[in-house]
């Protein structure tokens, strides 16, 4: 048994660490197995600097055909499992072919890396960044170690941020006018607005505001659209009447939202909608959906 274990056991341990690992911000990342780990957070144009430590086990000699580190940005579509689309792939050779006898440290640096896309973990798609260290070997499988990290890209507040204002209704039944103060929100923003009732002829029971995320993957006939409701926020209890206006104040911070992604490498897009739902006494739902743009504002804390 021991032999067997020893045979499959990797001959060396690989540790990947970032140079500023101690001070760099860590964010939670949900792994495939459901566990959440804390990983380093980067943004585009940052230099990713660190070192790789390779430590042979039991001081055994490890022969290799070279050691390299790759920075991978990949998109994984779940319905197309196993196929990763690498939109970024940067390689740094760490060592020429040779033999490793003892613990060896390789510094690496990817300077000002272009990482346009943010890490994303959706229903049907995942976008992630990985540092992959490979020790190539002949005849036996390569020794590989991964280190994931997260990329968030910050956007300055938009210069134009119009309110969303609209009058909708069902003829002679229900006419409302609603207004959201902005069309673009950052992730910790507050949605402020109001609903003004112009005509109410149906017996309303309540009204709620939903935040929905529409994740669309693939393209053409293979497009998969998945819509998730993130927040169900009750705005009104009971039936309003003509002339009433109901305030909206919805804090976005409790919800795990991401920015809007228009078109990520032609593979997927993520959009957010505010869905105003009016429910009548027979549980019929009347709704109006409005797209909002989410962006990530650099937190100044």
Place of tokens 């909002």: 292
Q: Which is nearer to other proteins, 196 or 273 (CB)?
A: 196
- For residues 97 and 64, give the distance between their C-alpha atoms in angstroms, rounded to a whole number: 5
236: contact with other proteins by CB under 8 A: yes
238: contact with other proteins by CB under 8 A: yes
From 32-40, 55-63, 167-175, 246-254, span contacting other proteins (CB under 8 A): 246-254
249: contact with other proteins by CB under 8 A: yes
**Token digits for 278?**
């009016």
6: contact with other proteins by CB under 8 A: no
109: contact with other proteins by CB under 8 A: no
Rounded to a whole number of angstroms, the minimum distance from the CB of residue 282 to other proteins is 14
For the chain, state the CA radius of gyration.
26
Sequence-ordered strand ranges (E) for 123-201: 125-135, 143-151, 164-170, 174-180, 184-186, 190-200
53: contact with other proteins by CB under 8 A: no
Q: Which is nearer to other proteins, 97 or 247 (CB)?
A: 247
Asked if 184 and 161 count as a contact pair (C-beta separation under 8 A), the reply is yes
**CA nearest neighbour of 279 among 228, 218, 237, 223:** 237
Stretch 190-209 residues interacting with other proteins (CB under 8 A)? 204, 206
257: contact with other proteins by CB under 8 A: no
- The size of the interface with other proteins (CB under 8 A), counted in residues, is 21
Rounded to a whole number of angstroms, the minimum distance from the CB of residue 211 to other proteins is 11
Rounded to a whole number of angstroms, the minimum distance from the CB of residue 204 to other proteins is 8
- DSSP output for 249-283: EEE-TTS-----EEEETTTEEEEEEEEEEEEETT-
Answer for which of 21, 28, 97, 254 binds other proteins (CB under 8 A) is 254
Q: Which x/- pattern, by CB under 8 A, does the window 215-234 give for other proteins? A: ----------------xxxx
Rounded to a whole number of angstroms, the minimum distance from the CB of residue 277 to other proteins is 13
From 54-62, 94-102, 243-251, 262-270, span contacting other proteins (CB under 8 A): 243-251
Q: Which residues of 179-216 are buried (b: 16+ CB within 10 A; e: fewer)?
A: bbbbbbbbbebebebbbbbebbebebbbbbbbbbbbbb
Q: How many CA atoms lie within 13 A of 56 on its CB side?
A: 12
Q: How far is CA 28 from the centre of its chain?
A: 11
- Which region holds residue 196: left if phi is over 0, alpha if psi is between -120 and 50, else beta? beta
239: contact with other proteins by CB under 8 A: yes
Rounded to a whole number of angstroms, the minimum distance from the CB of residue 10 to other proteins is 43
Q: Which is nearer to other proteins, 250 or 294 (CB)?
A: 250
* Residues of the shown chain interacting with other proteins in the complex, contacts defined by CB under 8 A: 204, 206, 231-241, 244-247, 249, 251, 253-254
């Amino acid at each position: 048994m021991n032999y067997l274990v020893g045979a499959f056991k990797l001959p060396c341990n690989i540790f990947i660490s970032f140079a500023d690992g101690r001070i760099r911000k860590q964010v939670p990342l949900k792994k495939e197995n459901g566990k959440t780990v804390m990983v380093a957070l980067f943004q585009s144009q940052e230099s990713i600097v660190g070192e790789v430590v390779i430590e042979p086990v039991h001081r055994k000699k490890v022969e290799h055909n070279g050691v390299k580190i790759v920075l991978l940005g990949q998109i994984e579509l779940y319905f197309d499992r196993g196929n990763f689309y690498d939109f970024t792939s940067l390689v740094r050779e760490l060592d020429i072919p040779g033999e490793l006898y003892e613990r060896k440290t390789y510094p690496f640096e990817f300077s000002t890396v272009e990482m346009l896309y943010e890490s994303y973990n959706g229903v049907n798609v995942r976008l992630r960044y990985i540092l992959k260290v490979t020790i190539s070997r002949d005849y036996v499988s390569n020794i590989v170690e991964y280190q994931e990290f997260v990329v968030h890209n910050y956007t300055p507040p938009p210069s134009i941020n119009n309110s969303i204002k609209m009058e909708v209704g069902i003829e002679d039944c229900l006419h409302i006018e609603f207004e959201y103060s902005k069309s673009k929100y950052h992730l910790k923003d507050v949605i402020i607005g109001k609903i003004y009732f112009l005509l109410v002829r149906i017996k309303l029971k309540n009204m709620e505001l939903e935040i929905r995320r529409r994740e669309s993957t693939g393209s053409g006939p293979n497009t998969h659209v998945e819509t998730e409701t993130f927040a169900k926020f009750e705005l009104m209890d009971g039936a309003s009447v003509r002339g009433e206006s109901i305030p909206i104040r919805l804090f976005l911070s409790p919800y795990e939202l991401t920015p809007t992604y228009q078109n990520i490498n032609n593979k997927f897009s993520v959009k957010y909608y505010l869905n105003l739902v009016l429910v009548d006494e027979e549980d019929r739902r009347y709704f109006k959906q409005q797209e909002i743009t989410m962006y990530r504002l650099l937190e100044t804390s």
